[in-house]
Chain A
Amino acid sequence: MPHSNLGLGLGLRNCHFNHILSAWPAVDWFEAISENFMDSGGWPRHVIRQVAEHYPLALHGVSLSIGSTEPLNFDYLKKLKNLATEVQAAWISDHLCWTGVQGINSHDLLPLPLTEQSLKHVAGRVAQVQDFLGRELVLENPSTYITFTQSTLSEPDFLRELCKQTGCQLLLDVNNVYVSAFNSGTDAIDYIEQFPCEYVIQMHLAGHQHCGTHIIDTHDRTVRTAVWELFRLAWLRTGGVASLLEWDGNIPPFEQCHAEILKAKDYMLGEFDPANVAISSETEKETISNPVGFLVPGVMDRTQAEGA
């Protein structure tokens, strides 16, 4: 499995497909949402094949549901494996979460109670998935809005132990650290300090929305300065790994997204100052967490009436 630092990448989004296929922009790498492509026999599949021929590509999932008590979906895993082979995916990642039970998919990244029992449950499933895929799985820390009374482990400790037991690797989402820390009243800097950075092979960055009493992980704007400062710390602690911007709501033109991730270069050097990880005082009306509208293609744009 490749461990190299792929550089600064972008999430592959439907609205940018035409630009990428015509301009072939100088981006280091792309990350595609696995579920958008694994069943596709149409335009999305065509696009990902083209992209994979020109750029390093990683697959990032939102429906593996590794923490669910439902049985693993091996039909899903088979399609994931086939897609990863087809596009020579550098990594296959998903989230430390569950998305549904009783045959339902909430399409949300729901948190788990962080207990020894959850750890045992997730570790068993990670091992099964890795056996099936024939490669290590990469798991991301989710953004969370609730804390379970049952939880006895911190997320960094949970993930460290999971990596030790299964050999899986980690995707550190720096924005999620900031969001979850604010929402749970914990310290984001302490989280990064405690995080098992030796297992981190990739980082995510994104924008969020501050609602005063809580923060929503909206992926719909530029990365906040405080998150960039946390990224500086994470960069130091991980030794520098492939980093990627997720922009999923109000997605601007491609070049604007690209310019945003290139800001990361400014935070790869210099002293980390905890004072810069300040909480913004601005507040806004709440919008959607973990937006998924970007996952649905604009079919209307790819239809044509006869004679039109």
Chain B
Amino acid sequence: MSEDTISLDAIQVWLQNALISPGSTSCQEIEKHLRPSAQLKAAQRLGIYQRSYYLRLLQCMREQFPALCHALGDQLFTDFAREYLQAYPSESYTLYELGRRFPQYLEQTRPDKDGLQQARESWVDFMIDLARFERQLFVLFDAPGHEGKLLADRTVPDHVLQLQPCFALADYRFPVASYYQQVRKGNNPAFPPEGHSMVAMARKNYLTRILLLTPTQHAFLTLLQQGHEIAYALELMALQLTLTVEYVYESWTAPDGIRKRWIDAGVFIHKGICGPESIV
């Protein structure tokens, strides 16, 4: 590398540091690198970039976490997101990755992290869970899916039903999915009381369906996610619930049972068959 290239590298490092940490440079240094204009000093000209750097990325964070922004209020959300961007500047060419580490960051920096587990404030748990939920939805929005190929219909037998690729299971300490839907509808929901909630998310025709689950349903889908076949998962559920396999099977296949609901929601594909999709 030539000396001149090193010089270009040095000025790029300097300018980038000046954007991310405006206090890292001095007026003297700024004037060494930048000219003033007729109307602005060199530092004021640099200030245009410095202000826009955070405003631009904060705008994207609000777009990626709209319900969390609603829950925290714009000012508090902005404070958290700004600190996050300082700690974790974007490392990707795509802005879609901007919020990837935000839920984890909120967990790591929670104000009560050094306190006893039982003394932790529940609203922080809610914020972290809501951030996890929104990030999951964002990922599913653009993940490779099964559109353009056949989803399973109700006639497909159990042994060839398979979870579709654009699918996620999650459990939360709060009913974040319900809260999210309220915000989506333009309502102003109150902080929900603590309550274990489990959801499945599956994308069909480019629309991500959010399915609320019981603990049993969640455990059943977890077995399928681990690669087990439906018959085996039903047997295991029967064992755990101390019910007969026949009873569990009847419940699974009931006319308005979860089998029908999940197939209609696009949870399953027909194993080994990927023909052209018939849009339902």
Chain A contact residues, CB within 8 Å of chain B: 35-36, 38-46, 63, 65, 68-69, 73, 76, 98-108, 110, 112-113, 115, 117-118, 120-121, 145-150, 183-185, 212-214, 216, 286-293, 295-300, 302-306, 308
The 8 Å CB contact of B16, one of A104, A293, A297, A302, is: A104
Contact of B210 among A113, A214, A305 (CB under 8 A): A305
Residues of A within 8 A of B63 (CB): 293, 296, 298
CB distance from A234 to the nearest CB of B (A): 24
Interface presence of B119 (CB below 8 A):
no
A68 in contact with B142 (CB, 8 Å): no
Q: Which of A41, A46, A286 contacts B51, CB < 8 Å?
A: A286
Q: How far is the CB of B60 from chain A (nearest CB, A)?
A: 5
- B91 an interface residue at 8 Å Cβ cutoff? yes
- A42 touches which one: B51, B53, B64, B145 (CB < 8 A)? B145
Q: Which of B30-38, B72-80, B152-160, B225-233 contacts A (4 or more CB under 8 A)?
A: B30-38
Instruction: Name the CB-closest residue of B to A292.
Output: B56
Other-chain residue from B42, B56, B67, B91 in contact with A290 (beta carbon distance below 8 A): B56
Q: How far is the CB of B161 from chain A (nearest CB, A)?
A: 18
B12 touches A68 (CB 8 A): yes
Is B137 a contact partner of A299 (Cβ separation < 8 A)? yes
**A107–B134 Cα gap in the complex (Å)?**
22
Given A106-B16, A290-B52, A297-B141, does the pair A304, B206 have CB atoms closer than 8 Å? no
How near does chain A come to B228, taking the closest CB pair, in angstroms? 24
Contact partners of A147 in chain B: CB under 8 A: 34-35, 37, 45
**Besides the known contacts A63-B93, A145-B49, A306-B212, 10 further A-B residue pairs in the complex with CB atoms under 8 A apart:** A46-B206, A105-B89, A106-B20, A107-B95, A110-B16, A214-B48, A286-B51, A295-B60, A299-B138, A304-B208
| Distance, CA A145 to CA B261, complexed state (A) | 56
* B interface residue numbers (CB < 8 A to A): 2, 4-5, 7-9, 11-13, 15-16, 19-20, 32-35, 37-40, 42, 44-46, 48-49, 51-53, 55-57, 59-60, 63-64, 66-67, 89-96, 134, 137-138, 140-145, 147, 166, 177-178, 180-181, 183-184, 203, 206-212, 261, 265
What are 13 residue pairs bridging A and B, where the CB atoms are less than 8 Å apart in the complex?
A: A42-B147, A43-B142, A44-B142, A63-B93, A110-B12, A146-B49, A150-B11, A213-B40, A214-B37, A214-B40, A216-B48, A298-B63, A308-B181
B141 touches A146 (CB 8 A): no
Using Cβ atoms and an 8 Å threshold, which residues of chain A touch B210?
Answer: 303-306
CB-defined contacts of A296 to chain B, threshold 8 Å: 60, 63-64, 95-96
Given A184-B37, A214-B40 in contact, is the A41-B145 Cβ separation under 8 Å? Answer: yes
CA of A267 to CA of B39, assembled, Å: 31
- Asked if B8 and A35 make an inter-chain contact with CB atoms under 8 angstroms apart, the answer reads no
- Asked if A102 and B95 sit within 8 Å, CB to CB, the answer is no
- List chain A residues, Cβ under 8 A from B46: 146
Known: A102-B13, A105-B91, A288-B59. A112 touches B52 (CB 8 A): no
**Chain A CB within 10 A, most for which of B19, B56, B144, B212:** B56
Given contacts A106-B19, A107-B90, A291-B59, contact A302 B211 (CB under 8 A): no
- A300 contact set on B, CB distance < 8 A: 66-67, 180, 183-184
Known A-B contacts A44-B142, A292-B60; the reply to A108 vs B93 at CB < 8 A is no
**B98 CB → nearest A CB, Å:** 8
Q: Are B93 and A293 in contact (CB-based, < 8 A)?
A: no
| Closest CB pairs A-B (n = 9) | A41-B144, A117-B4, A63-B93, A296-B63, A69-B9, A293-B59, A213-B39, A42-B142, A145-B48
Within the assembled complex, what's the spacing in Å between the Cα atoms of A285 and B144? 42
List A contacts of B39 (CB < 8 A).
212-214
B85 CB, nearest partner CB in chain A, Å: 10
Cβ A42 vs Cβ B141 within 8 A: yes
Q: Is the CB of A183 within 8 A of B9?
A: no
Q: Tell me the bound Cα distance from A305 to B48 in angstroms.
A: 42
Which of B2, B67, B96, B181 counts the most chain A CB atoms within 10 A? B96
Is A41 within 8 A of B142, CB to CB?
A: yes
Measured in the bound complex, the distance between the Cα atoms of B56 and A216 in whole Å is 13
Note all chain A residues with C-beta closer than 8 A to B203. Answer: 42
Enumerate chain A residues within 8 angstroms of B178, measured Cβ to Cβ: 305
Rounded to whole angstroms, the CA-CA distance of A39 and B142 in the bound complex is 8
> Are B48 and A108 touching (Cβ within 8 A)?
no
> Does A148 contact B33, Cβ atoms closer than 8 Å?
yes
Which single residue of chain B is at the shortest CB-CB distance from A151?
Answer: B35
The distance from the CB of A96 to the nearest CB of chain B, in whole angstroms, is 14
A118 to B6, CA, bound (A): 11
